[in-house]
Structure 1
Amino acid sequence: MSDNIVSAVFDSHSEAETAVRELRQAGVRDSALSIIANRDSGSGEYGDAHTHEAKEKGEGLIKGALAGGGVGALLGIAALAIPGVGPLAAAGAIAASAVPEAAAIGAGAGALAGGLSGLLKKHGVSDEDATYYESRIHDGGVFVSVDAREAGISAETAREILYRYGGHSATRSRTASVI
């Protein structure tokens, strides 16, 4: 677990969008944000992770669901297929780290060692939170993390913003949303 990675999962895209917008208004740089979301419940299938269709739908999910937060401007949007979780869209540093790993093993993004929780742990998320987040993402939640080393704000400020707008984790329950 990294003390520099502050993370939460949101039950809705609108809550995640609001939190990302507030983080950016507080000065968080795009390079410090990472986001993972399951496919949009009404969008249908993504197809295989290697297809152009998967990439387009993954980009559409991140850009569409979180565009108000400016996440569409992030580089490194990727479509990932995680066994047991399904098709995901990822953006930011976490997406940038997942794609080379998958390419290096030559078996595609679906073969990421340890699945989604393994990817989250490599990103600096605690074991307990990684398991919790994987379950919540599987149910349609949106994972957002901030790397405090690059954020431009303190880890505590980032944490407060994430939780103020409905974020939660294995060790911190959801609070009432202000939106």
Structure 2
Amino acid sequence: IESGSASAGTVNWSQGDVKDQFVAGKAAMMVNGPWQIPAMADTEFEWDSVLLPVNEEGQDPVAPLGGEVWTVPETGKPDVQAKAAEFVECMSNEETSLSIAESRYLVPTRTDLIDGYIEQVPEMEAFGEQIKTARARTAQLGAEWPKAATVIYNAVQLAITGEATADEAFAKAAQG
């Protein structure tokens, strides 16, 4: 922000705001989700999607997965668990997975469906490739993820507003 590379408004932008600023030519790039593609496709703006960068050549990018997670909780009621398992199986089958992806403009998380889906929706290629090596936000931290996420977003806010260097921002954000 201090150098002028980013607008001071970025601190408060939502995902939609990021897309709007990008399409208006006021942001050079954005990190966003495939659900923004239909709105961008309705404009004259030229854009493309690419994989998230990695630290070292040859590394697989690891994007965070979020949103819907289908689970069957242990309730102690076998009949209820069986019905929940039926539901999860239904929601995870090929037809439903593709229908959800198409209707919500997402990538199916079943990796066996991604290549075929990309053939039908080529503008999803970068997103599809990202999903192949993605992991759930909670995969490593489990229940500690919300606390870690709070540290991350507080540190980012401190750093981009110039209140602290990146290292200082993480140390300060971790303290609460």
Normalised to the residue count of structure 2, the TM-score between the two structures is: 0.27
Look at both structures and tell me which one has the larger radius of gyration over its CA atoms: 2
Normalised to the residue count of structure 1, the TM-score between the two structures is: 0.27
- Ranked by relative contact order (alpha carbons within 8 Å, sequence separation 6 or more), the top structure is 1
- Point out the structure with the larger strand share: 1
